[in-house]
Structure 1
Amino acid sequence: MSLFINLITVSRMVFGAIIFVLITRTELYWYAFILFFIASITDYLDGYLARKYNLVSQLGEILDPVADKILIVFLLFAIAVNLTSYYIGFLSAAIITREIWVGALRDFNARKQNINATKVTFLAKIKTTIQLFTISTYLIGISLNNMFVVLIADVMLLMSFIVTMHTGLIYSLNTFKK
């Protein structure tokens, strides 16, 4: 069962690559949205099953945020390319940079036996939720060819950027406080 739960987590990474192709190489935007919706559900499902069956593992704790990041990176890049938007591209690059930075902090803290400094917080889970809703809104806007919905997603992306940077700052302060 533990392997099954980890496969659910890893599926988000695979979905990310498939959705990237659907957005950038085809016009099957609704399929991309449906696959993204399924991938988003796996983010809840793997954690729920691990807790329900008492199968929470270190591997799962490591894989889950990595799978989230890979999914989000694929989607943000695909949306920026599809809409040829420097705004989306810049904020996405900043968000991705933060994700890499936090990954480095986690590695650093693991080596220093200080894993609590970068343990996933409730606000970080909110951040991921905002990112997932933002991407969903973009996919709906692109699917409907509705620029007003895309504009709403642009505002949501800015909110996502702010929360993402804030959580990155918190992790940084926790890591380097004396």
Structure 2
Amino acid sequence: MAYNLPTYLTLLRIALIPVLVALFYLPWHLAHVACAVVFALAAVTDWLDGYLARRMSLTTAFGAFLDPVADKLMVAITLVLIVQADPSPWVAIASAVIIGREITIASLREWMAEIGQRKRVEVSWMGKWKTTAQMVAIVILLLGMDIWRETLKTTGQALLLVSAVLTLWSMINYLRAALPVLSTRTE
């Protein structure tokens, strides 16, 4: 297994998850701001590891596997923390849509790869926009727990709903791309 700078950045993102969780529960008036900083750092490493892997020709099978796992873990765990702290129905629904889509598409990609059809469900620009909207919404929601509460909370919730819509849209696009394979009969 080859470890390189992009892979170390991905591993750093995974290592930041328990740090984020610990900070979230600290009895400190800026704990959620610290979480937002950690999450933003993780989001930047998400972009940076992919950029470096492509730019420096450091892509590996392990990195290609680990990168989306790290993203989904960080997003899902942080959304669960946010819903637990602010059990708003809209945030809970948007979070359930986002987490449910990630599970669905990860499973679809695994199955499509198993039957040699992985190219049909490669990451699209819609997926990149969805991820960006999620990351920004989560940072804003975390910040809004400690500072500029009403303004950031409302903005973060609205952006999370937008990202949930983008999430559904991208899922529909992936399912539509896979439909010809999904609708074939097996014997």
Aligned residue in 1 for 2:4: 3
Say if 1:24 and 1:82, in contact at 8 Å, map to a contact too. Answer: no
The two structures, once aligned, show a CA RMSD in angstroms of: 1.7
Once the two structures are TM-superposed, the CA of residue 140 in structure 1 deviates from its matched residue by 1.7
Unaligned runs of 5+ in 1: none
Q: Distance in 2 between matches of 1:158 and 1:112?
A: 34
Distance in 2, Cα, partners of 1:6 & 1:145 = 36
For the pair shown, the structure with the greater C-alpha radius of gyration is 2
Whether the 8 Å contact between 1:17 and 1:74 is mirrored in structure 2 is no
State yes or no: 1:68 paired with 2:71. yes
Counterpart Cα distance in 1 of 2:9 and 2:108: 26
Amino acid corresponding to residue 89 of structure 2 in structure 1: Y
Residues 102 and 168 of structure 1 are in contact (CA less than 8 Å); yes or no, is this contact kept in structure 2?
yes
Q: Which whole-Å CA distance do the structure 2 matches of 1:23 and 1:145 have between them?
A: 18
Matched-pair contact (CA < 8 Å) for 1:131–1:157: yes
Higher share in helix:
1
What residue ranges of structure 2 are gaps of 5+ in the alignment?
A: 182-187
2:41 is aligned with what amino acid? I
Matched residue of 1:100: which SS?
helix
User: Is the Cα contact below 8 Å between 1:24 and 1:81 reproduced in 2?
Assistant: no
Shift of residue 20 of structure 1?
2.5
Pick from 158, 171, 177 the counterpart of residue 155 of structure 1. 158
Say whether the 8 Å CA contact 1:23–1:82 is kept in structure 2.
Answer: no
Deviation at 1:145, TM superposition (A): 5.2
1:84-128 per-residue CA deviation (whole Å, 9 max, x = no partner) reads: 323212221121011000011011101110011111111101111
Could you say what secondary structure the match of 1:72 adopts?
A: helix
Quick one: structure 1 residues 135 and 72, their matched pair in 2 at CA, closer, same or farther if it must change by over 3 Å? same
Q: Within the alignment, does 1:176 sit opposite 2:176 as a pair?
A: no
Deviation at 1:25, TM superposition (A): 4.8
Q: How far apart, CA to CA, are the structure 2 residues paired with 1:115 and 1:30?
A: 39
TM (norm. structure 2) is 0.88
Q: Call closer, same or farther: CA 1:24–1:93 in 2, change over 3 Å.
A: farther
> 2-side partners of 1:128 and 1:33: how far apart?
16
Q: Shift of residue 154 of structure 1? A: 0.9
- In 2, the alpha carbon distance for the partners of 1:86 and 1:14 equals 30
Q: Does 1:165 align with 2:165?
A: no
